[in-house]
Amino acid sequence: MRVLVTGATGFVGLNLLAAMGEDHEPVALVRPGSTTARLPDGVETVEGDLDSLGGALDGVDAVVHLAAAVYAESAMAATNVAGTERLLDAAAEAGIDHFVFLSTIGAHPHVESDPDSAYQRSKVAAEELLFEADHPFDVAAVYPTYILGPRDYRLTRYEHVRPVAANRLLVPPLYTYDEYNVVHVEDVVGTVRHCLDGNPGRHLVTGPNLTTRQVLGTIADATDGQCHILPVPYSVMRWGIKPAIDLLAKVGVSPVGGAAFTERGDYGTVPPALTERAPVAQRSWQSALTDTVAWYREVGIL
């Protein structure tokens, strides 16, 4: 099966191409001027983008649509929605059999979305094009939570490792008060391949909901083991330490203050009934973190 992969040079794309077996022959859609140096040896490439697909789908049996804009709202509308529509039209003309779309957990119908997230809104709009229209091919969507693992060349996950690697003592939520739901990139890749094997519909890829202490503690163990995590209850930070820091900042003793100390961050948590879901055998959340750290060490970042 020849499979066109958009977003092939991204985090999930590189891991997917590396995992493609004999049953799936990938064709990487690469934008003009983009480097192909990190693609696995022997992967076929075709130059183009979602604005100008040209003959990218010639001889293709399936499409895996990973490409997405994540920053400017105008780019999200152009790429995540309009680009997906053009790709769907081209796929219909090409007579493909399977179309697999990488979505985001906040776009799943059973997960509460963030109304302030333009990215989630763009994914929901793209899915209306997938599931609210008749297509001459199978349609599948994959909904991962926070993906971790190797080949993070853009260092988008390094923000969670850096504080641990740079400090001997961390005091959450002084540094951060976050909640996580972590999945291994190989589980996401495995789910994509599961969809290509004729399993349409919506597929969650979720782990257990985790605390900051669990995540940072596991990262600390996976680095040099010298960073210690000293948890402070959120109530103590919110009603005790924060007012004291704000007062010190007001009188000029402390250079920092404000809400940043008690802001909550959410990296993909889901309702308890939706945790630890995937259509493939899952790797542990600990391995997702430790494999990420190991890869950063392998490439010389740690």
For residue 184, give every residue at least 6 positions away whose Cβ sits within 8 Å of its Cβ, in sequence order, or none: 147, 148, 149, 282, 283, 284, 285, 287, 288, 291
Per residue in 201-215, pLDDT tens? 999 999 999 988 899
Confidence label for 228 from pLDDT (cuts 50, 70 and 90): confident
Choosing from 87, 119, 144, the residue where a domain stops is 144
Length of the chain: 302
Summarize the confidence of residues 49-75 as an average pLDDT.
95
* pLDDT, position 236: 65
Residues 177, 89 share a domain: no
Residues 174, 121 share a domain: no
Cβ–Cβ under 8 Å, residues 164 and 220: yes
Residues 105, 228 share a domain: no
Summarize the confidence of residues 20-46 as an average pLDDT.
92
Residues 160, 126 share a domain: no
* pLDDT, position 60: 97
For residue 192, give the H/E element and its range.
helix 185-196
Residues 120, 177 share a domain: no
Residues 302, 155 share a domain: yes
Does residue 84 carry a pLDDT above 90? yes
For residue 68, give the H/E element and its range.
none
Domain membership flag for residue 39: yes
Residues 165, 102 share a domain: no
Cβ–Cβ under 8 Å, residues 218 and 290: yes
Per residue in 98-123, pLDDT tens? 999 999 999 999 999 888 899 999 99
Confidence label for 197 from pLDDT (cuts 50, 70 and 90): very high
Does residue 260 carry a pLDDT above 70? no
Residues 91, 168 share a domain: no
Q: Rounded to whole angstroms, how far apart are CA atoms 112 and 280?
A: 24
Does residue 252 carry a pLDDT above 70? no
Whether the upstream peptide bond of residue 173 has omega within 30° of 0, thus cis, is yes
Residues 164, 139 share a domain: no
Choose between 246 and 41: higher pLDDT. Answer: 41
Q: What CATH number has the domain bearing residue 64?
A: 3.40.50.720
Amino acid at site 14:
L
Query: How far apart, in Å, are the Cα atoms of 88 and each of 75, 93, 130, 181?
Result: 18, 9, 8, 31
pLDDT above 90 coverage of the chain, percent: 73
Domain membership flag for residue 298: yes
* pLDDT, position 262: 53
Q: Rounded to whole angstroms, how far apart are CA atoms 250 and 242?
A: 12
Q: Rounded to whole angstroms, how far apart are CA atoms 171 and 158?
A: 19
Choosing from 95, 127, 144, the residue where a domain stops is 144
**What tokens were used for 302?**
């740690």
What range defines the domain where residue 82 resides?
Answer: 2-144
Summarize the confidence of residues 71-96 as an average pLDDT.
96
Q: Rounded to whole angstroms, how far apart are CA atoms 283 and 17?
A: 19
Does residue 34 carry a pLDDT above 90? no
Does residue 230 carry a pLDDT above 80? no
| pTM for the whole structure | 0.90
* pLDDT, position 163: 86
* pLDDT, position 52: 92
Classify 3 as helix, strand or coil: strand
Choose between 72 and 236: higher pLDDT. Answer: 72
Residues 154, 7 share a domain: no
Average pLDDT, the chain: 90
Helix H segments across 105-179?
118-131, 158-166
Residues 72, 44 share a domain: yes
Domain membership flag for residue 202: no
Domain membership flag for residue 278: no
